[in-house]
Structure formats: C-alpha cells, structure tokens
C-alpha cells in the first residue's frame, strides 16, 4: 500500500483522493439498494419464510431490521471514539468492509428455509455497513478543504446513486429474465445478486484505502482503554448542549430526517395501497437512482450562491410540496412524477447535511461525533413511520401523508436558526 498523502483539510483537495473517497459511496450503495431496499425483503418473504404466515414473516423481518439498526446506533459513537483516539479510521473501516462484504456474500449460500441464518448474516452485514459509514463520513475533512466540503459530499452521493442504481438494474434483469443469463430460476438469480453486492462493495472500496489520507492521531488522545473511551462518549453526550450550534443542527437534522426517512420507507407501501403496480414501483425506484445523481451535484453547486442552509431548506420545501402532491396520488404517472421530485431533492439535502455537520465537528472528535450523527439518522426513522401508521390505521393513507408536513416545516425553521459561521469557528478553535 502506498504511503498516505498528506491531509488537505486546510489546503486544496487532492483530486485522486476525492475520487477515491467518492468511490466508497459507489461501493456501499449497492448494499442499500439491492439488499435493504429492493431484493432481500421480498426474497425473505417468498423463499426463506415461505412456511410461515405473511404477517409473521413481515413482523420477523421488521424485528430483525430494528435490532440491527439499534445495534449499529449504539456501536457507532463508541467505534467513532476509538477511531479518533487511535488515529486508525481507515483500518477500522477496512474491517467493516471486510466483515460486511463477506456477510453479504454469505447470504447467497444460506439454505432455502433457514430464515434465522439469513437474518443473522443480514444483521452482521447491516451493522458493518452502518458503522462503516460513520468512519467513511468522518474522512470527508481529510480529502476536502472547508470551502469544498459541500461540493465533494454531493459528488459522493452522486457516485452512490449511479453505482447503487447500476448494480440494482443488473440484478433486476437477472431476476426478471434468469434463463437469458444462464441461470436456473429467479431464486438462483437472487442469490447471485447477493454475491455480486459483496464483491462490488469490497472491490470498489479499494481506491479509498489506497488514496485517502489517514487523519493524524491527536497528541492529547494518549489513553486508549475502553473504559476511557466510554467515559469520553458519555462526556461528549453530556457536553452536546454546550455546543449550541452543533446541538441545534443535530436536532433539526433529527426532525427533517424523520420526514425524509418516512418518505423512503412508506413510498412503495403507499403506492401499492392506491393501486400502483409492481413494475411502476420498481421502474420509479430505478429512475430515482438515475435522476438523483446529477441532482445531487447540482445541489452541491447551489450551496455556494445560496449557502448550504438555504439550499437544504429549499430541498425541504420541495419535500413539503411532495407531501401535498402525494395526498392526491391516484395514477401511475402521478407516482413517477412524485419519484422524480424526490430524486431532485433527496441526494442534495442528505449530502449538504453531511458536509454541514462535518464543518461543525471539531477535528479531534469528528469520528465520534459522526457516530452521534448516525444515531440521530437511525432513530429518525421511528416517529414518522409510527405516526404515519397510526393515522393510516384509523383513517386512510392519504391523510397519513399529511402527517409529514410538520417534520419538514419545523426542521427547516430550526436549521435556518443555526449560526453556521459561529459553529464552524467554534469547531476550528
């Protein structure tokens, strides 16, 4: 492995390091699209859990997903703190990639009805995926100068949408037309899809480990015992309110991410409820991956004239419009339009949120604080879906859609109240 190039957080970004960092988004987004979103859930219901009632299979999938999410949320700040103290973010990230890609590959070999085994390897892979993202995000200041972080973060999301969408398209072709690719049936094609994600994730992660610099270990972080790490995490938790801009940003992010997460989780369910067919749902999902890539880059450029807060607030206004439009959804063309609007605002709001948080986090704690960012993002998917489900149960899905409006309105208001410049100065001090 060649020697790490020097950090550029205070200078001009190294183009090769930026590309390598972005390629990790390309690498791991295949897990998000093929495994967590499009292919594994229906495979679990149709194959691994076919001997149990559908509602039981759905419940067990939900419990396993929630357990994996909770475990990654609890682990993320601790792993981030260890990375900061040891100065080994890349080494820990490489461990996450190796464990995650092997677990994903193992999904292809789980016997047909071994649903416990499938959920177990999925849980391991998801925890590796989620905690690895914390370490990956914390490397952003190592490849991008402060003035370039918004653009580089948006570029990473664009790479992710293209990479995840490209492999998903190939996987869906295998599953829909297995005989044309020399495969026995859709189940064999699905298993090959799982294996392809594991190989894809590992192979396209290699540029990051070769080109992205390892941020130096802080001289003051001499103690590395686990007890010291845990005490540090607790101290950071208690100290968050004493960093008002960072704390306010986290609160705003928690609120509007809950709305965004609910849109992502409930879109296809709501579409099915109003009569949108499977082909339209899958086609719209692929379209989101394609349109979101250039839209993310455009948002990254929009951050310079508008400022990142106003750019994200503009995206949240778009989500509010999407919510209102969703209330009147009734035809497949409506769902395609809705998906296109989501594609325009989704990547940009997420990318600029990531880069704003990176600018607000002190360099000596950036991995640990991204762990808290990850916790906020994970827990953000709780309130919105529960509220959506309660309203849908007692009235109708159309009225449940309107419950998302407050998340975007309140989140945007809180975000615009953050004094970003003061928060950045405090982080640099």
Distance CA 128, CA 361 (A): 23
pLDDT in tens, 26-63: 999 999 989 987 888 888 877 767 777 766 776 677 67
Q: What is the pTM of this model?
A: 0.83
At 300-312, the pLDDT tens digits run 888 889 999 999 9
- Calculate the alpha carbon distances from 287 to 141, 164, 318 in Å: 31, 12, 18
- The greatest distance separating any two alpha carbons of the chain, rounded to the nearest whole angstrom, comes to 61
Question: What is the C-alpha separation between 214 and 4, in angstroms, rounded?
Answer: 7
State the number of CA atoms in the 13 A half-sphere of 338 facing the CB: 27
State what percent of residues in the chain have pLDDT above 90: 39
Q: CA–CA distance from 395 to each of 55, 325, 388, 400, 401 (Å)?
A: 21, 18, 10, 8, 11
What pLDDT shows up at residue 370? 83
Q: What residue has token string 């579409």?
A: 271
Question: Which residue in 119, 1, 11, 114 sits closest to 67, CA to CA?
Answer: 119
Q: Which fold has domain 15-211+226-428?
A: Growth Hormone; Chain: A; (1.20.1250)
Q: 295: Cβ–Cβ under 8 A, 6 or more apart, which residues?
A: 343, 344, 345, 346, 347, 348
Q: Is the pLDDT of residue 381 over 60?
A: no
* Percent share of the chain, pLDDT over 70: 85
What's the pLDDT at 113? 79
CA dist 300 and 144 (Å) reads: 13
Measure CA 63 to chain center: 20
Residue 114: phi and psi, rounded to 5, are -80, 75
Please give the pLDDT value at position 412: 95
Distance, CA of 359 to CA of 249 (rounded, Å): 11
Residue 8 pLDDT level (bands cut at 50, 70, 90): very low
pLDDT digits (tens, 9 = 90+) for 206-251: 999 999 998 876 555 555 566 666 676 777 767 677 788 988 998 8
> Is 395 in contact with 403 (CB distance < 8 Å)?
no
pLDDT of amino acid 163: 95
Rounded (5°) CA angle 285-291-295: 135
Instruction: Report whether pLDDT(5) > 50.
Output: no
Spatial distance between the Cα atoms of 250 and 243, rounded to a whole number of angstroms: 11
The region of weakest confidence among 347-351, 356-360, 364-368 is 364-368
Integer Cα distance of 301 and 19 in angstroms: 17
- Average pLDDT of every residue of the chain: 84
Give the span between the Cα atoms of 386 and 65, in whole angstroms: 15
Q: CB of 343 within 8 A of CB of 295?
A: yes
Token pair 């200041």 is found at 141
How confident is the model over 382-388, as a mean pLDDT?
A: 67
pLDDT for position 170: 95
């Amino acid at each position: 492995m060649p020697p790490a190039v020097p950090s550029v957080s205070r200078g001009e970004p190294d183009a090769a390091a930026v590309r390598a960092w972005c390629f990790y988004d390309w690498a791991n987004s295949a897990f998000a699209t093929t495994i967590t979103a499009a292919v594994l859930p229906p495979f679990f219901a149709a194959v691994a859990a076919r001997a149990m009632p559908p509602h039981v299979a759905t419940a067990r999938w939900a419990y396993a997903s929630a357990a994996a999410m909770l475990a990654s949320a609890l682990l993320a700040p601790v792993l981030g703190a260890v990375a900061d103290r040891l100065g080994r973010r890349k080494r820990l990230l490489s461990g996450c990639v190796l464990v995650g890609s092997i677990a994903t590959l193992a999904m292809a070999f789980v016997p047909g009805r071994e649903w416990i085994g499938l959920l177990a390897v999925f849980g391991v892979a998801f925890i590796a995926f989620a905690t690895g993202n914390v370490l990956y995000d914390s490397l952003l200041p190592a490849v991008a100068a402060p003035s370039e972080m918004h653009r580089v973060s948006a570029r990473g999301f664009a790479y992710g949408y293209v990479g995840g969408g490209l492999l998903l398209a190939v996987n869906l072709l295998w599953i829909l037309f297995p005989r044309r690719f020399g495969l026995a049936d859709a189940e064999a094609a699905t298993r090959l899809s799982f294996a392809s994600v594991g190989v894809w994730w590992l192979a396209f992660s290699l540029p990051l480990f070769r080109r992205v610099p390892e941020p130096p270990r802080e001289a003051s972080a001499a103690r590395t015992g686990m007890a010291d790490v845990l005490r540090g995490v607790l101290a950071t938790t208690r100290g968050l309110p004493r960093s008002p801009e960072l704390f306010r940003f986290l609160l705003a992010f928690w609120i509007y991410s809950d709305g965004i997460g609910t849109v992502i989780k409930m879109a296809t369910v709501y579409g099915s409820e109003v009569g949108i067919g499977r082909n339209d749902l899958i086609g719209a999902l692929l379209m989101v991956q394609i349109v979101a890539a250039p839209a993310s880059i455009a948002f990254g450029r929009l951050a310079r004239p508008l400022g990142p807060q106003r750019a994200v607030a503009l995206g949240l206004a778009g989500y509010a419009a999407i919510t209102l439009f969703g209330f009147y959804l009734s035809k497949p063309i409506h769902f395609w339009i809705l998906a296109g609007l989501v594609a325009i605002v989704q990547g940009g709001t997420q990318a600029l949120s990531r880069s704003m948080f990176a600018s607000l986090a002190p360099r000596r704690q950036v991995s640990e604080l991204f762990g808290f960012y990850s916790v906020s993002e994970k827990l953000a998917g709780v309130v919105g879906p529960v509220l959506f489900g309660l309203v849908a149960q007692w009235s109708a899905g159309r009225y449940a859609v309107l419950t998302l409006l407050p998340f975007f309105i309140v989140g945007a208001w809180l975000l615009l109240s953050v004094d970003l410049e003061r928060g950045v100065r405090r982080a640099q001090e």
